[in-house]
Each structure stands twice: as structure tokens, then as C-alpha cells.
Amino acid sequence: MHRMMSSAVALLLVFAAGSAMAASFDCKKAANFAETSICQDGYLSSVDSALGREYQKALANTADPARLRQLQREWITERDQCTSQKCLDKVLGSRVTFLENYVNVERDAADKAEEQTRQDQRNAERHAEEVASAKRTADYNLAKEQSRLQREQEYLKQSKTAVASAAPVHPAAANLATAPQRSTPAQPLAEKPLFQRMWQTFWSGPAWKYTLLIGFLITCWTVWLHHKETATIYNDYTDAAITNLLPAAGVIAALVMRWLELPGLIQAIAFTTGVLLGISYAVYATLRINQGALNIALVIITKLTIISVFFAIIAMLVGSLFSNSGRRKGESQARTAARHRREAKQNIAFIAALSVAYTTLTVWLCRSPEFTSIGDCLEFERNPEMA
């Protein structure tokens, strides 16, 4: 009995202590259910007291006290809408958590805003630097072009002076010289060579497409004749290797001479020599192992078509590795560099895949799957035995 009385007294003391805990507002002015419940319930009163302490702490550390006060007033309006102690418990608990993290969240937001401002400033400086660099490049190119035009004008002026001083002066010509002259349009300094004009006309129109289509059809016809054993494209692996390596050697020699900064004429001679040797050997090998003018012509055209298309595509892919496209509109410098790296990897993959495919095709077009001596390839035999 004495133990039961002690327990009851302890419970009463705990209840009295909980009821006596002060809320964060004056309970005498409690005017609604929320405030009355907080004043009457010890647990809610203790939570409200903790809320008040966290509010004062956040108010002392915040960078914008007016905004925090406004948020607190809005929360009080939300709290006063509760009609049960469960709602009050949830609202008070979430508010205490919010106030505990308010200063840290505010600082994180300020740090992010400051970092974004610095990033925007760096981007603006980088953009201004790129614009200035582009302007300097444009000014340099403009000055270079103006200097070139000025030199051309001086050259024309000196040429006219030299011609005028060398020519005899007749009275009639002197009268014509004193007469007012009509302005004539400026003539070009020199007309392009006929071969260059024909080459530009060929590539600027559809002629190259027709040529490629005709070469493709002839190639298909020749491959069909090759597998019917009526014609022979490559006799063996050595024949195919010599036919392809001679023009490749010319290209490599020209590139090495360009790297050594030798004159352009020497580079052109090396390249032309390799190509002409390749064509000469292709014609020689075709005459050696084929019969009939039609078969010989078809095989020669097929070899030149396959080799020319392969080397042209490889040249374009290799050239694209050293000539990156500029920045696209709205693209950052980092994304441009990443895009260039992706394009370079793709081009290298295309070069490797095309080389493997071309080698496989060349092997498939060889009559005898073996290597022979170079002497056998150069030995002329007008009446070959068809395999």
C-alpha cells in the first residue's frame, strides 16, 4: 500500500511539472484551440518551448531576420488551423526540425548562389576573351588582305609606268592621253590554267558522280568475270601488294618531305612518281595475266576505281583528324573539345574498319591465295594459264 501511494505521488508530481512548463507565448492570452492545448498539455508545452529556443537561435544567426519572422507568422497561421493534438504534435515537431536546419540551409543556398555568380563571371570572362581573340584574328586577316591588295596595286602601277615609258609617243596618242578616260573594270591578274579550270568544273558539277557510278558498275562486271575465271584482277598476294603499296609509298614520301619542309615541287614529284609507278605496274600486271582488249580495259578501270576510292576516303578521314570544326552556337569550350575527341575516335575507328574491309576485299580478289617472288610478278607472259 505504501509503495502504491509513492507511485501515485510521483505521477502527480510529473504531471504537475509538465503542466507548469511555460510555453513560448503568454498562456493568459491563449485564444484558440492550438494555444489552449499547448498550455494545458505538458508535452506540447515542452515542444513549444524548444521551438521558441530554436527560433530565437535561428533569428540571431540568420542573414535575413525579416524573412524568418514572416515565415514564423505564416507558420503560426498554419498551426492555429489544427483541431487535434495529433495535428499539433506533427506541426510543432516539423517546425522544430525546420528551425534547427534553417541556418545551415540558408548558408548552403548562399554558398551555391555565390558559386554560381563566380561561375557566371568566369564564363563571361572566357567568352569575352574568345570574342577578343576572334576579333584579333579577324583584324590580322583583314590587315594581311589589305597589304596584299596594296602590293598588287603597286605592282600594277609600276607595270603601267614601265609600259608607258617604253612605248613611243605619237601625237595622236598624246591627244588621246589628254582626253578624259572612261573607267574600265579591273581585269584579273592571271587566268587559271586550263587543266585547273577543267578540274574545278569536274568537281563542282555532277560529272564526278557519273564517273563514280560508271566505275562501280564496271567494277561489279569485272568481279563477276574474275569469278567466272574469264578475267583476273590480282594474280596473287604479291601482285595486289605491289599495286597498292606503290601509290601509298608516294603519299608517304610526300608527307615526309612536307614534314622536312622541302619545296612543294619536290613533294609533288614524289607523290606523282608513286602514283604513276602504281598505275604503270597495274597496267603491266593486267596485260601480263589477261587476254582480250575488253578484259584488259575492264580490269585496269576496276583497279584504278577501287584504289582511288579507298585512298580518297582514307585521305578525307585522316585530314578530318587535323581539321576540327569550330564551336557550335551555344556550345561551351569544354563540350567542343569533348566533341572533337569523340569525332577523332570515330574517324580512327572508321579508318581501321575501312582498312580491314579493303584488305579483305583485295585478298578475295586474288586468283592464287599465296605470295610469289617479285621476279615472278615482273616476268612478262603474254599467254598465261588460267587457273
pLDDT at 9: 35
pLDDT at 6: 40
Task: Give the tens place of pLDDT for each residue, 336-359.
Answer: 778 878 888 888 898 899 889 989
Task: Give the tens place of pLDDT for each residue, 134-191.
Answer: 888 888 888 888 888 888 888 887 777 766 665 544 444 444 444 444 444 444 445 6
Grouping H, G, I as helix, E, B as strand and the rest as coil, residue 181 is: coil
Q: How far apart are CA 50 and CA 156, in angstroms?
A: 95
366 bridge partner residues: 234
Q: Of 21-30, 160-169, 241-250, where does mean pLDDT reach its minimum? A: 160-169
The dihedral formed by the CA atoms of 36, 42, 48 and 52, expressed in degrees to the nearest 10:
110
Q: How far apart are CA 332 and CA 334, in angstroms?
A: 5
pLDDT at 324: 67
Task: Give the tens place of pLDDT for each residue, 211-229.
Answer: 888 888 988 988 898 888 8
Residue among 118, 50, 134, 33 at smallest CA distance from 84 = 33
User: pLDDT band at 195, cuts 50/70/90?
Assistant: low
CA angle, 350 as apex, 347 and 352 as ends, to 5°?
A: 110
Q: Examine the pLDDT at 204 and tell me if it is beyond 80.
A: no
CA angle, 336 as apex, 119 and 143 as ends, to 5°?
A: 95
Q: How far apart are CA 19 and CA 38, in angstroms?
A: 10
Q: Examine the pLDDT at 385 and tell me if it is beyond 70.
A: no
Q: 85-166 vs 33-40: helix axis angle to the nearest 10?
A: 120
Q: Examine the pLDDT at 18 and tell me if it is beyond 80.
A: no
Q: How many Cα atoms within 13 Å fall on the side-chain side of residue 20?
A: 6
Q: Mean of the pLDDT values across residues 365-378?
A: 80
366-368 and 234-236 beta bridge pairing: parallel
Rounded to two decimals, the pTM is 0.45
- Where is pLDDT greater, at 304 or 196? 304
- Where is pLDDT greater, at 193 or 281? 281
